[in-house]
Structure 1
């Protein structure tokens, strides 16, 4: 059985500890990152985000609740969000950072 990606209502872009930007578009991409690429020690928010993302896959909670938990985990892990309101501003921000 093939898994279908559950897209976030709005992508989440964070600045990783190495300075690179990473944008998360789906629940599955986020779970993979939380399980396999998390760059810091695991904290309470990380565990909660992983639990809620898995629960959202099974439709026990909303994907929005999982998304918010992931944002909290990123902040706990010292990975600030990069906020952009539209794609044109995002492109300009990336050019400035590049």
Structure 2
């Protein structure tokens, strides 16, 4: 039971530190753009190394199988998120 004398203040201090960190994150805008990072990771910015190394879409040049299909799916998914910010993939739709 003597251990509770030490554990209770430690638990209260850790809880207070977590609350302070959460309030700090709210005030500094850490929760402002929750969907932006998820969308930015899917889109290659123009001029990046990956965009420069991507296969060309000029007629007559070989492209990996499914390249156009995956690009079309990506753009449709991003467009759906742009239309409806609360959009969640539902295979039953």
Compute the TM-score of the two structures, normalised by the length of structure 1: 0.27
- Normalization by structure 2: what TM-score? 0.28
Between structures 1 and 2, the one with greater strand share: 1
- Larger C-alpha radius of gyration, 1 or 2? 2
